[in-house]
Amino acid sequence: MVAPFSVVRLGARQLVSSPLRNASLRPSRVSPLTACRQCLQLVRYQQTQSHRRAVHLSSSGDTENLLPRDLHSPLDTFPRRHIGPGADATEQMLAVLDPPAKNLDEFVKQVLPADILTAKNLSVSEPQAAAELRKDGVLGGLGEKDMVKLLESYKNKIDATGKSFIGCGYYSTVVPPVIQRNVLENPAWYTSYTPYQAEISQGRLESLLNFQTLTADLTGLPVGNASVLDEGTAAAEAMTMSWATLPMNKQKQDGKVFVVSHLCHPQTIAVMRSRAEGFGIRLEIGDIMADNFKLVKDQGDRLIGVLAQYPDTEGGVFDFQSLSDSIHAQGGSFCVATDLLALTVLKAPGEFGADIAFGNAQRLGVPMGFGGPHAAFFACTDKYKRKIPGRIVGVSKDRLGTRACGWLFRLVSSTFAEKKPPAIFARHRRSWPT
């Protein structure tokens, strides 16, 4: 039976460092037939390495920098050996420099050019207790435990936590415990990895298919995907989709314009600004309903598309039927950022001519999560389905004729090395009835 390596290592250290009372237990008297090979190798290694710097497994063997200890002091000196040198060790190192330095600041000035050093005092003090403050009001370095106490003291100073009425697509919800425990706290649901192997992911693909069906039904559009990163990203994708579906000669022309309602959420407009710059698209932000859609009509054939918020960031609701007709007459796309819960009582975007609809899925009962980002739903007409971002789950049949889920309209090069994906769906009786 071979002894654990930790036991062997401890025995080797005792053989080298301490004299043995029983001569029969000394290494020279141990029979090669009964000796532990690992033990003998460690003994020889310790003897040959005695002139090198010792590696101390505990503070009992570390005599180079002894500190006052008591019964409650930690035995392992790992933190002290890795946090950095103390005041005594720093003074010794600075003294042997040529030329010597009085302190670390002077040493840094000897190494780095003066023109790259900051002249601003960082005001970082020594570690201190959580409740203590320096006279100038600057906190010193705090450990994790002290920092938690300090933050709790700040929290206790607040009489009551107020409700957030900022809105902008984020609304407080009440999450049932069964959903929180089995979905939100289950990594199988919120992991960022895509289930590439449809054969073993039928249950999750079925859930995504239900989400797509819900999105398509409420938006009134035929195609919905399995979600996008967040609402701002969905708006940027809608803009680039509108550009990508234009004729090639119109895509390459200069002065392309995408009109955005000033009543869209501010974070959505900010993301669109960044994406438009990379595609050479100019954003026109303003009142799209004023003066019989004058802002939209003024763009002429340069118009790529229009984005409207429904309901808008102030809660207003407009009838966009006439605006949709005007946009399509100019050859543009009509995109609508909307709210799924509001669509349960409002007219669906697909019914008044919207080409693309998207929004924040946080409205489906997801916690606010300090402002997101949350997944976004995304739906479009058949004209745009080949350009839709993300993934689409569809229903097919396996070789036995049983219904099974799989990815549709995906890029082959992103998943498979072959020229075309294998048309094989595994049979999954639990997820799909026969």
Q: What is the pLDDT of residues 88-133, one digit of tens each?
A: 888 899 999 988 899 988 898 888 888 888 877 776 666 555 445 5
Residue 181 lies in a domain: no
List 407's β-bridge partners, or say none. Answer: 393
Dist. CA 366–CA 19, nearest whole Å: 68
**Which pLDDT does position 357 carry in this prediction?**
98
Q: What does the pLDDT average to over 186-211?
A: 72
**Which among 199, 210, 197 is positioned nearest to 427, based on CA atoms?**
199
Residue 255 lies in a domain: yes
- Name the band, by pLDDT with cuts 50, 70 and 90, for residue 253: confident
Q: Does residue 367 surpass a pLDDT of 70?
A: yes
Per the rule left: phi > 0, alpha: psi between -120 and 50, beta: everything else, 369 is left
Burial per residue of 312-329, b for 16 or more beta-carbon CB atoms within 10 angstroms, e otherwise: bbeeeebebeebbebbee
Q: Does residue 306 surpass a pLDDT of 90?
A: yes
**Which among 339, 216, 335, 325 is positioned nearest to 269, based on CA atoms?**
335
69 compared with 240, residue with greater pLDDT: 240
Dist. CA 270–CA 277, nearest whole Å: 11
Amino acid present at 267: Q
Answer yes or no: are the C-beta atoms of 223 and 379 closer than 8 Å: yes
Q: Does residue 301 surpass a pLDDT of 50?
A: yes
Length of the chain: 434
**Which pLDDT does position 32 carry in this prediction?**
46
% pLDDT > 90, the chain: 36
Q: Measured in Å, how far apart are the chain's first and last C-alpha atoms?
A: 55
Q: Does residue 224 surpass a pLDDT of 80?
A: yes
Query: Between helices 231-244 and 266-279, what is the axis angle to 10°?
Result: 40
**Which among 124, 107, 132, 198 is positioned nearest to 408, based on CA atoms?**
198
Q: What is the CATH number of the domain that holds 306?
A: 3.40.640.10
- What integer best gives the mean pLDDT of the chain? 76
Q: What does the pLDDT average to over 134-143?
A: 57
Residue 250 lies in a domain: yes
Residue 29 lies in a domain: yes
Residue 293 lies in a domain: yes
215 compared with 98, residue with greater pLDDT: 215
| Burial of 9 per CB tally in 10 Å (0-12, 13-18, 19+) | middle
**Which pLDDT does position 172 carry in this prediction?**
82
Q: Does residue 298 surpass a pLDDT of 70?
A: yes
Q: Does residue 43 surpass a pLDDT of 70?
A: no
Residue 284 lies in a domain: yes
Residue 423 lies in a domain: no
Total structural domains within the chain: 2
Q: Are strands 282-286 and 403-408 parallel, antiparallel or unpaired?
A: unpaired
Residue 371 lies in a domain: yes
Least confident of 69-78, 193-202, 279-288, 385-394: 69-78
CA dihedral 135, 139, 140, 144 (to 10 degrees): 150
Range of the domain at 231: 187-193+227-389
